[in-house]
Every structure is written in structure tokens, then in C-alpha cells.
Structure 1
Amino acid sequence: MSSYRPLHDGWTLSSRDLDGVPATVPGCVHTDLLAAGVIPDPYLDGNEHLLAWIGREEWTYRTTFTWSPDGHERTDLVCEGLDTVAELTLNGVSLGSTANQHRSYRFPVRHLLREGVNELVVHFGSAYAYAEERRAALGERPGAYDEPYQFIRKTACNFGWDWGPNVVTAGIWRPIGLESWSRARLAEVRPLARADGTVEVHVRVERTTEEPLTLTAEVAGTRAEHRLDGRSAALTLRVPEPELWWPRGYGAQPLYDLAVRLGAQEWTGRIGFRDVELEPEAFRLAVNGVPVFVRGVNWIPDDCFPARVTRDRLAARLGQAVDAGVNLVRVWGGGTYESDDFYDLADELGLLVWQDFPFACAAYPEEEPFRSEVEAEAREHVARLARHPSLALWCGNNENLEGHADWGWQERLEHRSWGAGFYHDLLPSVVAELDPSRPYWPGSPYSGAPGLPPNDPARGTIHIWDVWNREDYTRYAAYRPRFVAEFGFQGPPAYATLRRASSDEPLTPDSSHQKAIDGQDKLLRGLGEHLPRPETFDDWHYLTQLNQARAVAFGVEWFRSLMPSCMGTIVWQLNDCWPVTSWSAVDGDGRRKPLWYALRRAYADRLLTVRDGQVSLVNDSAEPWTGELALVRHGLTGEPLAKEVVSVHVAPRAVTRVALPRAVAAPGDPAGELLVARLGETRVVACYAEDPAVAFPPAAWEASAERVDGGYRVTVTAVTVLRELTLFPDRLDPDAEVDDQLVTLLPGESAVFHVTTARDLDPAALTAFPVLRCVNEGAPVSGGSGSGGARG
């Protein structure tokens, strides 16, 4: 028997200068101070810098609750997440201290509880003070930022990153409550399910009696029972002919309810039957024996204040990943282990999860107390997440192996510990013991052995950052990697996001938060020869967003065309934690940037891509792709100049390459012609020269906006060629969304956009600058209502 009582009510927050601020639990200091009107929103304007003092302050959370004897032998205070350096007292008596945001804590309190009113106090010391004290004691360790995040077991990006603010939090960030129990309780249930229908259910119990206990497990009508004399047991169930769980695009995601009972106490969770294997050198993931080309995105914490991230918000964000064709999400090592909701949703959606242990971009000390804390958190989360079929890979860290090898760390370390013992010994040992059903990889990038160059394209995983930092995005085509776990290009957030986050009048490029070194210069330099130079804010916003979309799509398409030599791409990054110019496809307010639409095309099951005199036909579906590949060379006025048709057959999960026939391979006039390739419903339009060198006519179109259920239908018919036609309805309604962007039309062709909005919008505004944009905007085109063109 057991019972649980949350302790989430009646909390107040105090510091040296504040007293009695109402507090929300779960939550954190920043959100409590914001709700009380004590501080401005850290995400707006330059407020981040005004609030840096919060991370250096000490904070006290206090509540009272009534209690009366409940007939149980034991009562524990269960803290699922304390951030981070905490001292706990109950009725004036110390319960203990914590120093790890990434784990839970349990304190026996039965002997301290009073009938009637009880007072619980959680005092948080400064995370900065703790980290700097440990740094002084253990010696400096190099890192990517001049912050002490490697000296405290806390979300590293709280201390600021090249896309995130410095908001060093404190608080009771996950549930807290009292659990009462008698005789025994289920301390841990760790199911390991395999594709053959076997489920090994490992159970650990805490008990007050030595009497035998009855432990049962049941799934899919199969039951096992065990007489428990000790404190741990393993029950094996065999489900005949289970339906297998597959990643999206490879099959269905059936989930089975598993119930484990100890007396009257019950644990329930959903499991899925599947096997996952990793071929190390090629870095090829296989599920149920089938190799999977990974179409991935990197995931960062979706908010700096994680208690604000609800299941609905996670469902929306992961839904955006699915809708963009993604089949894997990498939980990046500068964040944390995500909530149960995150992995439950991944199970349901068929999204594979690559889980980094939370170490990123720094040398980490291995001395105590860190080693014990790392082992405790690893054991807890490996056991917690073992039941999830979506979890495909444990990874030791992000970029620390590369940092040690290539970033000059060795000289600065002077033989001090830096984390190698975690990545090559402790963490793989924990995974091998608790979760042998999944592969472990020491870090990313990593080439498979400690003595090899970590970022070698020929082996394992690589990260590509010379593009964006120094090189034009066409350099992606110089790589022939096995697996790209990070690459990306920046672009600003949606206009409505930027408008909400900045009080600047008018907006300028500098109105957007920009945390990357030389980020604004790199945005402009990255336009290269691909797009014209922006003259106004509106141009800057459109062109840099477009360039981000093109850059990432270029990389994805190239790497996919190398399949099966290359078997995965994980774009940096899906999401943002606040409104910022960054590498994300979905901005900090949850709005899809043009990159998202480009990614949806680049990650489609079937892809056409034209490069270096050939067409690559990528078929990442279970059915063959056959038909007539039409290749047409057009003049800019739309007339066909040459046409070739090639019969093609692309096997399932394969790539076919077709050399461009001579008639369409070379234009008569690179500045005046386009190539259109089509196979079935898939089409791509390619220029023979970079856009600024093409003699595009000033854009002209006929457009209409019609009110329909749920919003508007916008129809655009091209009078001239329209390059990368894009609709930005959030400029009229911040909640408005459009179903497509980045459409190139030849004269006479039409595109229909569906705008979702609850508001009445001006139809003329929906079809004019700056809502409707394209690359070849020129002098305004005369015409009445319903005709359009671009401004000068």
C-alpha cells in the first residue's frame, strides 16, 4: 500500500531584499518574480542583461501544510527536481542538501512530521557561487564560454549559449510531494522489451519487512509471478508474435500496457517491441534489422524555464518535427533529460530519440562529488527511460571529445581530468548494466576509437561548422560523410516573434537577439553570390530567412543523395528557447520559419535534387519509384527550349543518379534560362546561375484572397516568373499561419496558399508587399485590385 500527496500549494519566495513573493511549484525564481511584477520579461529587449543578478542571489521557498497520521509505516519527501544547490528543512530540522538538477531526491520524514501544521523550507544557494567554489578547488577547465557550467550538474545552457540567454535559474522545477507506504514499495521498474516478444522486467524494491512478497507483471495477456525474498528481481514475459514498433515511415507504432504489481501497489507504463542496432564505423542505425536513414533534428530545451513546457507544447513542437518529415530527435547534451511526456510522445509519433548525457562543449572534472553525482543521475535516467521504444541511442557528450583533441584543451588542462572517464568508462558501464538493449556512443563527433580524429568524415559522426562560421554553404558538397550529427545556418525569427520581443521603432536587424560571435556579419556574408544584398529591414528579414532555408536544404539534399554511404543528417536545430536569431526551423514563439518549409521538402520520402550535371532521385520509401523523369529547359518567359524524358526506376530505400542529357545540361544563356525536373508529383526548379546573375523580370502576378472556413485561400497566378514566392501572414495577425512557402512559378502557373486565422484580414494586404514576397521584386506593376507586384 502507498499513497502520494503533492505539495504544490502555498509556497512563497524570499531573498535578502524580497519577502513573501507568491511562488508556483513546479516553477523557478524567474517565473515567480515575473508573475509578481518584480522583474520585466527576461526575453524582451535587453532585459536578460538587467537580470543577471538573479543567478548570484540566494533564494528561499517556504510552505506550510497540515498532516495527520495515515496508518503507514514510512513517509518520504520525494523531490523530482531541485535546481540546483539546495538545503531542505522540515519543521526546523535539516533533511539534507542537493547539488544536481538532473536527478531526484527522496528524504525519510515520518519521524519529523507533526499532527497539524508543518513547515517545509527549501533554501537555494547561488549556482554561480557553488560552481566557482568547485572551480577554485579543482582547477580551471576549458570550455566554449567564459562561464563555470562544467562545475555544477545543471543545465549548461542556463549560463548562456550562442543561441540562448544567460538566465541562471533556481527553484523546485519538477513535482514535490509526500509518499507514504508500508511493508514495501516499488523503487524502480525497468522493462527491456525486444522484437522477439521478450520482456525482461527488472524490479528494485525498498522494504520494511523480511516477509516474502508477491511480485507480478502482465502485458498483452501474458503474466509472470515471482516470490520476492530480497530487494530486487527480474521477471521474464514472452508475448507470442507481438506487433513490432517502427520509426515513422517504416511501419506502425503499437504500444502495449505493462502492469507491475507489488501487493496493492501498481506501476504501469507503455512499452514497444523492437530491436535497435548500431553499425559503428558506418554509423548506421537499424531498427528490427532494417537500416534507417536518419532524417533528424537537434532539440534544445524549449524554454529556459522548463516548468512552462507542457505536454501540449511538446506535442505541438514534436508534431512540427513530424510534419517536416523528421524521424529522429537528438536531445542535445547542453540541456537536460526531458520529461516523461517528451518520450511518451516520441513513442506515439514514431520519432527515434538520440539522448545525449548532459555534457557539452567543455572539459568536465571527474573528481568527487561529480563522479558520484554523474553515476546517480545516469542510473536514474537510464532506468527511467528504458521502457521507451523510441529511445534508440545513448551518447556520452556533445563536442567534448573534439574539444580535447582539436581545441587546444590538452595544454590548458595540464593533465587534469576532463571527462574521458565518464564517456569511455562510467557511462558505458551504466548503460551496459541497466540498458543493454540499446547502443552507446561515447560522444559526437566521434570516429569510433579514442585515438582517431573525432571529426573524421570517413567514420562515425561529424559536425560541420566551417559552413556558417567561414565557408559558403556550397562547401557541404565537398564532404562525403557517414553521418552528420550537426550542421546548420542562421536566420531571424518570424516577424511577429521579433515584433513581440523588441520595442524598437522601427525594427532593425539589431532588434533581434543575436548571441553568436559576429552573427550579424555572418548572416550578410552568408548571402554570398546567392541573393542580392538587402537595403531595408524588410529585405534583410526575407533574404536572410530565405538564405537559411536554402543553405540547410542544400546540405540535406547533398547528404541524402550519398545514401547508403551517408546514413543520416541531424539538422541544427529544430526549436528555440526564446525569441532570437538562430539556427532553428521553429522560432522561440513556436512559429515556423521558411527553413521549416524547405526542410519539409528536403526531408520528403521522395526527393529530386539537381547538382553537378546530374539529377539524384532519392527514394526513402518502402515502394519503388518509377516513371518518366521530365527535364525541361525553359526561358524566363516560360517557353520550353529543350526537353528530355528519361524512364527511371528507383528501388525502395535507394538513390538513382541520372546524368543530365546534353540538351538540358548546358543553357544557351545561363542568365536567361531555368531547368525544371519533374517525376510524378515531385518537381524542382533550378537556375543555371545564382539569382543575382539571372535576368529575372520585375515580378508581376494576379492574386486574390478569399475568405474560407478557418481563414483565407490565397491564389497567386504568375504573370512573370516568380522566384521563391513566400507569404508572411503573421505580419497581419501574429497567430496566422500559412501551409506553404518558397514556391517558384513559371508564367501562367498558379499557387494556392491556405492561411489559417481567426481574424478578418485585409485581402489586399494579404497579396501585397511586405506580406507577399519573392526574390525578383522590382518596380511596381500597375493594375487594379487583385493584381500585384513588388515595390521598388
Structure 2
Amino acid sequence: MLTRTAAPGPWTLHVETAAADADGAVLAQLPVPATVPGTVHTDLLAAGLIEDPYLDRNELLTPWIGRSGWRYQATLPATTPAERTDLVLDGLDTLATVLVDGVERLRTRNMFRSYRVPLDSADAADVAVVLDSPWGPFDALDDEARRAFDSPSAHIRKMACNFGWDWGPTLVTAGIWRPVRIESWSVARLAETRVEVHAEQGAAGWRGLVEVGVELERTATAHDAELVVRVGGATRSVVVPAAETSARLAVEVPIGHDDLWWPRGSGAQPLHDVEVRLLDRVTGEALDADDRRVGFRSVEVSREADADGESFAFVVNGRPVAALGFNWIPDDCFPHRVTHDDVAARLRDAAEANANILRVWGGGLYESDDFYAQCDELGFLVWQDFAFACAPYPEHEWMLEEVAAEARENVVRLMSHPSLAIWNGNNENWLGWDDWGWKERLGDRPWGERYYLEVLPQVVAEVSPHAFYWPGSPYSGTPEVYSNDRSRGVVHLWDGWNEQGYQVFLEDRARFVSEFGWQGPPAWRTLTDAVHDDPLRPDSEGVLHHQKAVDGSLKLSRGLAPYFDEPPDMADWHWAMQLNQARALTFAIEHFRSLRPLNMGSIVWQLNDCWPVASWAVVDSAGRRRPAWFAVRAAFAPRLATIQPRAGGLAIVLVNDAGEAWSGSATVRRLGLDGRVLAEQAVTFDVGSVASETVALGPDLAQPGDPAAELLVAEVDGAARAWRYFTVDRDLAYPRPRLDVVTKPLPGGDVEVAVTSDTFVRDLTLHADRLDAGAAASDALVTLLPGESVTLRVSGADPARAEAVAAAVRGEAPVVRHAGDLVG
């Protein structure tokens, strides 16, 4: 049987070629112990040779690391003798030369592939991995090529955001970023295992199909082999003659409706074991194995022409699914540090926000096996980008070959996951061609279209024929139509953030929005743990350094200006910008959902951060949920009531994305801020699954007597309250609430916080991280009418500090906030 042995080292890190501006004091202390998997930056950090680049402006001290060459060295232990012994490297970052006992055995130029080096024996061996600077391919270009293809990431198959992004630092890494092991085997091994699982519905009901294809690698003495596949109680086998290295077989599994895998919110996620075994047919010995956890489902994307253009909607097991979710970026600039628990925490954030889809963005990574396995278990659909983003890519023959190999390996690796719903060619490259001046700059030079229209779809069709491929995000369905056409395909909506404010979302009737968002600062504790400016101000050096968007601070201010005066106080500025991010996302999501079924997807940019930064994330790099997370949770509720402008006035829109019909009644009232009922309308509704119903409101509700002193509120069977205001915060006559705050420490260290307001109070939020680094509140952005109460739970604080936390909630620190704090 093939045996796998981790290559434990110890590993050491050496400099190979020092950049001209390298830190001599650091170089003088090399070599240092190295961690595998790992990267140069984290090895130097662990050795105490550099400051943490996530803190203050320390990032600016590190560029020389990415421009230097490095060497990892280790002595690999002897292993059990076998016919073949291989060194397997799951991920090298990126321009690597592998030497065994001083002899070059491999050169690589792709972060996204794994590699196998045959060893001469099972004896101990000295291994060196020499890593050239990732800047090398870009630095080697002549001036004309550099002007045409001006993104360093376009010339190397490496995580693009390593070179900096509008939410991430420039930390150009090198290292052995995924595990290294030794594999020993005889006769034959499974060189590639393709498992594609789907469900088909016929006249007699559902049936499950498991299709397995394998590629074998044999030794010179290989016998006939027998391939065995087991799915539950079903077993099939096929003999692979000695001259053959490929085999295919299919297993049909009887399944019922209860055996189908569904996206979260639409049904359950039953998973089944698929066992692939390779046997020596002569001796009966087990040679290799590859086991998977799979789910039976069908996933299609419906594209139907209609009066508004062309639909774009996920259909799972024959049922339309409204996609609500987040874009996912690498969870750390140094991905080897991301653990199972880290992934679980972020996916829990997405799940508890009522999301059912995650888009793995093309400027990052093909994520770990563990990420997709957890998505399977939790019921997330995964939109998987290929690794292209925001740049024209040259179409060199070597890169075409690399991309084909990279695509094949990752499609093979991920195709068995029921969560995987779509393969997407790139992020914003069609948009760059249409809108960013690439046509003029590049002339007749190839810019990457061949990857998206030929190489990638051909790989997907060959390897995983039941999978859905889409050439880009955004993309309209054909290069002949503008890529960001609102009437078809998928769109990115950034006019609001970049130029016009979030009110502009009302003008968009997009069919599927795969990117939109609004920026805000991280939690107060996350910011102050990373930035130590004194005084701390919105424009202090460290705060500005942790704002990577072009004119990001200006855009934050411009986006706030229609609603609030910009506060001069840092604490108020922080709260105002967090609140405005939450407001923008609520506004956009409720609008898009109110168009159901015209619009069938809203994917927020973004779920997570990779370092402490002002960004579009709803969960910051320390795992703290911003107020925007609570806003999205409410806006993504399976059943939503929202009051929207419609021709001639206002309407209440009931949106039902649940699997069952929704009927009931609602009462819409126009109230004074003092709670007096000024007008009222009763509404009944009956909304089908994944649909909406719009009910016009009468003029006595839609037309206020005093816009500054009135609001609309809808009480709805089966949904949260819907609110609407007749003017912006600056002009609202916010009363000054007297908040009665009662705290009660609970067993285990949690604290119950009951807040009662004598007046109307809007967007009440408890910033628990100001009290204790681990503390978090159970809710935020709570709006109360006069005399109403809310009870929050603060959890995660040090249990020994429960009494202190309870006291601090009632203290003078800016912990309990509301929108009225920012007015007057």
C-alpha cells in the first residue's frame, strides 16, 4: 500500500540572493529555523528579525524580502524501501528550484500546482528549495511590455493580492506554503482520481450517478490492476490491463428525495462516502486509495430570454435558488497560518448571516480541501474563480500550458464537492477590456481572452462535464455585449462607492450582482491593537496606512456627507463610518431582493479580511463582526419585508426566498417619532417560493406631514419589522433618549444587557470589544419605539471580568451608541 510520511526536517532558511536594499542586520543572523508549510516573512518574524508587518507602518520595512532570493534546506529521513520513493510538494511559492543531494530535479513557476520528484532511493536525502524573487518576471520586461502589462501578478502564476490590493498590504511572499511529504509505493498508484457526482430526476424519481475516472502511474514491474469503487452498499470494479494507465467506471445509486444535497436554507446536506481502491489483481494487495465525501445534487444556471433581457439564476435539484452571500478572499496574507478552526469561524459568520453562497475570488487562491469540505457540510454553494484578476494577462505558450495544468489539477481536486456550483474564468478582466483603457493600451496584443474562452472551458468540459463554466465576473454572456450589462449575466456595481453614493443602487435592475459593497473601519479594538498613533485620528499616519483604497478616506467622507456631518472626534468618526457601511448594504440588498425574481443573486463584497484594515468586509481580520454583519444578517433573512419607492409613491414588498409559500398580514403605520399613530394600512399577502409581492401604500402613508418628525414602520407576520424614513439623519428631529441600561452577569462569564428607551432610538449598538478584547454582543443596529426594550447578551469576555464588563457598559466610555449620537 502506498505510504505517506510527512517530511519533518528540521528546515532552515537561508538567503540566496539579497536585494540591494536588504536589511544587513537581518542577513547577518541567517540561517534561522524555518517552518514548513510556511513563508519567509513568518520565519523571519518568528526569529524576531522583523517587526510584525500587520502593525502600524511596519509593512514599509519589508519590500526587500520579496525582492530577495531564499533557500529552504532539510535532510529528509530514510523511509521504508519500495519500488518508488517520491518527494511530494503540495505547494511552492512560486519560482522554485528543487535540488536533491545537490542535483537539480525540478523547476516550478506556479503557486497553484503540486509537484512530485522521484527520489533515487528510500535513503536519507538532503533537499534544498531555492526560491527566486517573484518580481523577477516583471522586472525582466522591457519598458514597452511593462507599460502594456503593468501588473506584476500577470506575469507569474501566483496569488495576485500578494502584490497589494485595495484592502491588502504588499507582502510579496516566497516559501513552501503547503505540506511536503514522502510517498513510497510499488506496482502502481492513483496519479489522478476524478469523481463527479450528480443527481438526475426521471419518471421513476431521482437516481444518483457517481462517475470515476483514474490515471495510473506504474512501475516497470507492474501487474494487471483492478480498480474498485464503493458508494455506500454499491460496489463496482474494472480491470485495468497492464498496458493501460486510464480507466473509467460509473456507479448508479438509488436515492430518494431525502438523499439530495441542498444549499443551506433549501434543505438538508446528506453526505456519502465514495471509496476508490486500487488493487494488485495478481496478489490482491491494496496499492492505493482515494476516499471522498460526496452529495447527490444537480446544479444548473438558468439563462432564459425575457422582456427584461436574460435571466441568470441557480437551479438546484430542479428548484430555483436565490443566491445570497459573500465574496471570500484569503483569510490571511500568509495562507499557511489559516487553520481548520479559522475556516470554521468564518463560515459560521457567513452561515449565521443567512448566506447560502460564497464566491472564492480570483485574485486569491484555490482554497484548501478543508474549506470545501466544510462548505459541503454547511450547505454553501461555492462560486469558484480561476486565478485571474484585474489585469491583462499575456498569452505566452508556457503560460497557456501552465494555466491548463493548473486548471486541470484544481478541477480534479474540487469536482467531487457538492458545494461547487460554478467555475468562473476571471475577476473583472472583461470589464478592464471594456472600461479601463486596455484596448487602446494593448492594441493587437493578446490580453487573456484565450484563457477564458478556450483553455479554461475546455479543461472544465473534459474533466468535469456536468459542471457549469462562466467566462468572467462581470460578464454578459458574450464578448459582443458590454460585460457589465445590467440586463443579463452577472454584474459588479461600484459606481456607488467610487463616485455617486449608495442611493445610486436604486437605478440598477441587475439580474445577478456578484460584487457590490461599501467600506468601513474594523472594530475599535482591532484598529487600536494594530495602530498605535498618538493621537489616533482619521488622518493619522497609521490609520491612513491601513486604508489601501485609492482615495479611500475621501470616499468614506463623501459617502457619509448626504446623511451626517463628519464628526471631528475619532470615536464618533469610527461609529459614523461603521454605521454608514451597514446602512449602504441594507439599502442595496433590500433593493435587489425587492426585484425578485428579476434579480436572483446578491453577493456582497466581502466577508473577511486578511489583515487589520479599513475595507468592505463585514468581519474583520480579528474575527470581530462589524455592525455591517448584523445589517446583512437582517437583509438576508429568508423572509423579508421592505418598504421601497415605486412609481407614484411607496410600496411594501414581501420577499420570500424560503422553500415554502408565505402568507399572512401586515400593518403599516406612519408614526411620529414620539410614537403617535398618524396613519395606518392593513395588508394581506400570499407569496410563492423564491418570489416577491408588492403592495402599494396609500398617500396618507407615503406623504408625511412633517418629514423630520415621522417614519414608517411595518409589522409583518413571519418577518422582522420594516422601517422607512422621510428624510436623512441630519434633518431628523431625533429626540434625546434616556437609556435605562441594566446589566446582569450570567454563569460562565456572559453578561445580559437590557436597554429600555423612553423615546424613539435608531440603530442602537453595543461596542462590546471596547470593554474586553474577546467580548461580542448578540445583536446590533436595534431600533426601538418609545418605551420599548431590547435584551442583548455579551459573550466571549474573560469570565473573571464579568462584573467589570457589566459596570463598563453603564459607564462613560463610548460603548452604547445610536444614530442620534451623530446629529446635533
Q: TM-score, normalised by structure 2?
A: 0.92
Cα deviation digits, residues 637-676 of structure 1 (max 9, x gap): 1122222212222222210111112332211111111211
Q: 2:607 aligns to what?
A: 574
Greater Cα shift, 88-97 or 635-644: 635-644
Q: 1:72 aligns to what?
A: 82
RMSD after superposition: 1.5
Contact 1:531 / 1:547 at 8 angstroms: preserved in 2?
Answer: no
**Letter of the aligned partner of 1:165 in structure 2?**
P
**Whole-Å Cα distance in 1 between the matches of residues 291 and 684 of structure 2?**
54
Structure 2 counterpart SS, 1:139: helix
**Letter of the aligned partner of 2:298 in structure 1?**
D
**Whole-Å Cα distance in 2 between the matches of residues 231 and 105 of structure 1?**
19
Q: 2:23 aligns to what?
A: none
Change (3 A) 1:266 1:762: closer
1:409 corresponds, among 438, 441, 451, to 438
Contact 1:699 / 1:778 at 8 angstroms: preserved in 2?
Answer: no
**Whole-Å Cα distance in 1 between the matches of residues 318 and 727 of structure 2?**
44
Q: 1:290 aligns to what?
A: 319
Q: 2:36 aligns to what?
A: 25
**Letter of the aligned partner of 1:262 in structure 2?**
L
Cα deviation digits, residues 344-381 of structure 1 (max 9, x gap): 00000000000000000000011132111101100100
**Letter of the aligned partner of 1:470 in structure 2?**
E
**Whole-Å Cα distance in 2 between the matches of residues 9 and 664 of structure 1?**
73
Q: Does 1:254 align with 2:260?
A: no
**Whole-Å Cα distance in 2 between the matches of residues 591 and 176 of structure 1?**
33
Q: 1:131 aligns to what?
A: 138
2:293 corresponds, among 231, 255, 270, to 270
Contact 2:704 / 2:726 at 8 angstroms: preserved in 1?
Answer: yes
**Whole-Å Cα distance in 1 between the matches of residues 733 and 32 of structure 2?**
64
Q: Matches of residues 484-633 of structure 1 in structure 2 within 5 Å?
A: 484-510=513-539, 511-512=542-543, 513-612=546-645, 613-633=650-670
Contact 2:476 / 2:482 at 8 angstroms: preserved in 1?
Answer: yes
Contact 1:623 / 1:652 at 8 angstroms: preserved in 2?
Answer: yes
**Letter of the aligned partner of 1:224 in structure 2?**
R
**Letter of the aligned partner of 1:78 in structure 2?**
V
CA-CA distance at 1:138 after TM superposition: 9.2
**Whole-Å Cα distance in 1 between the matches of residues 262 and 165 of structure 2?**
35
Contact 1:644 / 1:663 at 8 angstroms: preserved in 2?
Answer: no
| Matched residue count | 773
Structure 2 counterpart SS, 1:194: strand
Structure 1 counterpart SS, 2:780: coil
Contact 1:203 / 1:233 at 8 angstroms: preserved in 2?
Answer: yes
Q: 1:767 aligns to what?
A: 810
Q: Does 1:238 align with 2:261?
A: no
Greater Cα shift, 678-687 or 599-608: 678-687
**Whole-Å Cα distance in 1 between the matches of residues 511 and 690 of structure 2?**
16
Stretches (4+) displaced over 6 A: none
CA-CA distance at 1:777 after TM superposition: 2.7
Structure 1 counterpart SS, 2:77: strand
Structure 2 counterpart SS, 1:575: coil
Contact 1:138 / 1:365 at 8 angstroms: preserved in 2?
Answer: no
**Whole-Å Cα distance in 1 between the matches of residues 497 and 753 of structure 2?**
35
Contact 2:654 / 2:687 at 8 angstroms: preserved in 1?
Answer: yes
Q: Does 1:140 align with 2:152?
A: no
Structure 2 counterpart SS, 1:499: helix
**Whole-Å Cα distance in 1 between the matches of residues 750 and 249 of structure 2?**
55
**Letter of the aligned partner of 1:540 in structure 2?**
W
Q: Matches of residues 160-199 of structure 1 in structure 2 within 5 Å?
A: 160-195=164-199, 196-199=207-210
Q: 5+ unaligned residues in a row in structure 2: which ranges?
A: 19-26, 200-206, 280-285, 304-309
Greater Cα shift, 506-515 or 319-328: 506-515
**Letter of the aligned partner of 1:514 in structure 2?**
Q
**Letter of the aligned partner of 1:123 in structure 2?**
V
Contact 1:711 / 1:755 at 8 angstroms: preserved in 2?
Answer: yes
2:682 corresponds, among 639, 642, 645, to 645
Q: 1:786 aligns to what?
A: none
Contact 1:141 / 1:362 at 8 angstroms: preserved in 2?
Answer: no
Cα deviation digits, residues 283-334 of structure 1 (max 9, x gap): 1111111111110210110000001001110010011001001100000000
**Letter of the aligned partner of 1:478 in structure 2?**
E
Q: Matches of residues 352-391 of structure 1 in structure 2 within 5 Å?
A: 352-391=381-420
Q: Does 1:707 align with 2:713?
A: no
CA-CA distance at 1:529 after TM superposition: 2.0
Structure 1 counterpart SS, 2:169: coil
Cα deviation digits, residues 450-474 of structure 1 (max 9, x gap): 1111010001011111111001101
**Letter of the aligned partner of 1:140 in structure 2?**
R
**Letter of the aligned partner of 1:104 in structure 2?**
S
Contact 2:7 / 2:77 at 8 angstroms: preserved in 1?
Answer: no
Q: 2:307 aligns to what?
A: none
CA-CA distance at 1:549 after TM superposition: 0.6
**Letter of the aligned partner of 1:775 in structure 2?**
A
Q: Matches of residues 201-350 of structure 1 in structure 2 within 5 Å?
A: 201-208=212-219, 209-229=221-241, 230-242=244-256, 243-263=259-279, 264=286, 265-280=288-303, 281-350=310-379
Contact 1:141 / 1:364 at 8 angstroms: preserved in 2?
Answer: no
Greater Cα shift, 478-487 or 754-763: 754-763
Contact 2:772 / 2:805 at 8 angstroms: preserved in 1?
Answer: no
Structure 2 counterpart SS, 1:237: strand
Structure 1 counterpart SS, 2:170: coil
Contact 2:66 / 2:173 at 8 angstroms: preserved in 1?
Answer: yes
Cα deviation digits, residues 690-743 of structure 1 (max 9, x gap): 111111112221111110134111111011211111100100101101110001
Q: 2:713 aligns to what?
A: 676
CA-CA distance at 1:509 after TM superposition: 1.7
CA-CA distance at 1:142 after TM superposition: 4.7
Q: 5+ unaligned residues in a row in structure 1: which ranges?
A: 780-791
Residue identity over aligned pairs, in percent, reads 51
**Whole-Å Cα distance in 2 between the matches of residues 422 and 201 of structure 1?**
27
Structure 2 counterpart SS, 1:60: strand
**Whole-Å Cα distance in 1 between the matches of residues 434 and 657 of structure 2?**
36
**Whole-Å Cα distance in 1 between the matches of residues 148 and 330 of structure 2?**
23
Structure 1 counterpart SS, 2:547: coil
Contact 2:372 / 2:417 at 8 angstroms: preserved in 1?
Answer: yes
Q: 1:784 aligns to what?
A: none
Contact 2:576 / 2:822 at 8 angstroms: preserved in 1?
Answer: no
